[in-house]
Amino acid sequence: MELTLTIGREYEVLGIEADSYRILNNPETWPYGNDPVLFAPQYFEIVDPTIPTFWNCTIGDEGEKYCYPPEWSTVGFFEDYHDGVEVVCSNFWKDLKRYYPETWRERSLK
């Protein structure tokens, strides 16, 4: 089994969905590398707890947290991304460049 993240590496959290972290997996992950995937938070150590000012944060019916840039906060955004909806995928990478420039520079392989 191939690991989709590297132990000991720092990753930028792109958002929080139902308390899980949205992170770009490793580019070499087969078959879908460099994808924004959800990961359980208990496997991470937070090195900077600052919440980005551009995040829209809400609390769900069961107390779970949801935080994303406004463009990604729409219901179904990441489902459309993973379904390959071209405009959504393109907009994701444009938004990544604007909101997360360091991660974009490191990962702009798509």
Identify whether the C-beta of residue 23 lies closer than 8 Å to the C-beta of residue 9. no
2 pLDDT more than 60: no
The answer as to whether 10 is a domain residue is: no
Instruction: Count up the domains in the chain and report the number.
Output: 1
Q: How does pLDDT run across 8-37, given as a tens digit for each residue?
A: 999 999 999 999 999 999 988 877 889 999
The answer as to whether 54 is a domain residue is: yes
The answer as to whether 3 is a domain residue is: no
Least confident range from 28-37, 66-75, 88-97: namely 28-37
Confidence of residue 1 (pLDDT cuts 50, 70, 90): very low
The C-alpha atoms of residue 40 and residue 89 are separated, in whole angstroms, by: 23
pTM above 0.85, yes or no: yes
The residue range of the domain holding 70 is: 15-104
User: In sequence order, which residues have a C-beta less than 8 Å from that of residue 29 and are 6 or more positions away?
Assistant: 2, 3, 4, 35
The answer as to whether 6 is a domain residue is: no
Provide the CA 40 distance to its chain's centre, in angstroms.
Answer: 12
Question: ∠ at Cα 97 (30, 87), nearest 5°?
Answer: 70
